[in-house]
Structure 1
Amino acid sequence: MKLNYKRTILVGFAFFLIQCFWSAYDAIIPLILKNKYGMSETANGFIMSLDNILALFMLPLFGSLSDRINTKYGRRTPFVFMGTILAVVFFNLLGLVDVLWLFILVLLLTLISMATFRSPAVALMPDVTCKPHRSKANAIINLMGTVGGMCVLGLGIAFKTSAEGKTDFSNYILAVTGVMLLALIVFLLTVREPKWAQEMQENTEKYFGDKEAEEREEHGGKLSKEQKRSLILILVSVALWFIGYNAVISKYSLYATHVIKQDFNLTLLIAQGAAIIAYFPVGFIASKVGRRKTILAGIVMLTLAFGMAIFITEHSPEFLMYILFSLAGIAWATINVNSFPMVVELAKGSDVGKYTGYYYTASMAAQVVTPTLVGVIMDLAGNYRPLFPYATIFVGLAFLTMFFVRHGDAKPQPKGLLESLDVDLD
């Protein structure tokens, strides 16, 4: 049995709208805080970490909560609907306020709204996808997210969000939330969560074995010692590469503007384009050589990209940074496509939301620390130059922890030749 690409793409519209929001948020909130309210880099970094502080508690909570409910629309869909509507309303209000305390209040409400449905939305993919196909499926989900990010970066260019000193982003936010609502409508009209989840369970029993589940059963339904060790190492690795990567994403708009004097929208757009090209091939490669080996290769590429970016100056040819960010985009796709499936590979069907919460706890804990930490380092240095050395070190450390992981890989094990040749597009 093969992956159902059509269904995976439709499920991916939830992640599409999530990435639309975060691409816009990461691009404009640091600029508003600096240009409109004159915040230092340390204060700016703390505000930028608020979403991650909230996520530490709310993503595991709502992931686990969505495991426990069951409506006629499914376990995850109600969260996606309500969370998106609230986020759209509050995000638009954010572009209209001019008082700092009110801005912070509306920002918190916006972030809480987003946190209510991120874990349920992401958990939907493994709910409807058999384990051996989850790297390929996650590649498509991330591809959808990347397309969403690219749409928003294109809007950023159209609305000139990188203009020096710009403070009014209300029209840009309206355009972004319009795209989010269109994606939500497509998702609600096409995704049949309960039916697809039931079919996944039936297909898993019919076509595939589950080595991780068999090992759990030998230990009373709980993770074995080796499984727990691998889970912890995966989560530490996730934290380390997010510390490095998120520092670049959250501060690159400032770095590009003040250090290398380039348009950050175009650079990030090129990186997203490279990631789009890479997503499906790296999912396919992982199904052949394994998720762990593929991730290790991605870590090496990302470390090289950030390490070489240290030497780029405002006098360097612009295309050099485009090349490095293309490499970073491919590397991040290689890592991202395979890391989440490794975590939920160790989950039972009834606790996928909880394990999704574990994944996001690790990534968000890292992102709580990194904007403030790199902001403090920049303030102490008196410039933005420490950004890429900082990112290089932490991404490199992730190679060491990931190297010792022994569980979380899965390869298709079709029961017969006819099943292995079947392509499911319905």
Structure 2
Amino acid sequence: MTTDATPLTPLRKGIAGVQYLFVAFGATVLVPLLVGLDPSTALFSAGVGTLIFHLVTKGKVPIFLGSSFAFIAPIISATELYGLSGALFGCLGVSAVYLVMSLLIRLFGLRFISRLFPPVVIGPIIMLIGLSLSGSAVKMAQSNWLLAVVSLSTAIIVTLYARGIARLIPIFLGIIIGYIADLLFFEVDLAPIASAPWFSLPQVTLPETFSWQPILFMIPVAIAPVIEHIGDVYVVNNVAGKNFVKEPGLHRTMLGDGLACLFASLVGGPPVTTYSEVTGAMSLTKITDPAVFRIAAVTGIIFSLVGKVSALLRSIDQAILGGIMLLLFGTIAGAGISSLLQSRVNLASSRNIVIISVTLTTGIGGAVLSFGSFSLSGIGLSALIAVLLNLLLPERAEDKQGTSTSEHIH
């Protein structure tokens, strides 16, 4: 394996950069396909967002930013309430959370975050992110169960039995095998791919709806990704053998994520965040040169300009995506449970059970809080309820929790 102690030639840097993009590609384009955005725009915003992150962090942190699964359910819900333009405008609230957190970390450190968002709050929120769209996954899958089962089975087999880089891309391989099955056994309209130009600019969708409602709807949703960002940076610390929390500083990495989210929202892409799958690939290859991740970013931008790539992605059958979602959303819910267990949350505590149960039931049950024309529902409302319950309910010695552990929800 290659380490930073062994200088990489420009060719090997290029190959490694393309490999890292390959790891992130499937998940990055899956999010926009599910929420109704242009996948090329997602690739473009991920590439530019990564470059913005590296600029803010002085080019020192080996991280790639991509579309986060945490925002699938909120964007779909916000689109139903406020339209696609409103949902994109609401994503500005996500970037605002990152920017505020960056300032607070710079001023007060991390202690206040652990007070507001302990594992008993974050765990059920992550579970809701996975469970809230389980019905949509089944609906998409049942449009063609054969394709859904093929893509799902492939992703499961890769997750359980693959080795090396292949194990890190179960979503990508599941989509590929499902698409091949679609070509072999069903009719796929390839005409749009043939007619698509080789060069095409990403489809920019500007947020034309200016309203506080979608912003307030999306702000609570950013809690889990913000906490995940902190965990990701600590993981990158361990892999690279450096302390990025100290230099360039966690406030800078948080600021980089926030500005990248801001750019993505302004051009019509889903919010982009630190990418744990790429961190896993970095652990495997031991290549932690930040320049390699910038090469991955530039490669993503180049891919976004190939019109036939966007047309190919849009030709993927919904059942294939549904099959992947059956595994994906269950995995996210499992990550929430794992977060509770690994953080040693006392599940025998009545206080903790109240916080977890009320958070889950209001989220899954579809509770809505309305004031005049403003309404808050879904994950956003449940996140707010979890934070308030944690602050208001007195914590006794027997309720104490263990060390916080971040679970990845990409």
Tell me if TM exceeds 0.5. Answer: no
TM-score by length of 1: 0.27
Could you say which structure has the higher helix fraction?
A: 1
TM-score by length of 2: 0.28
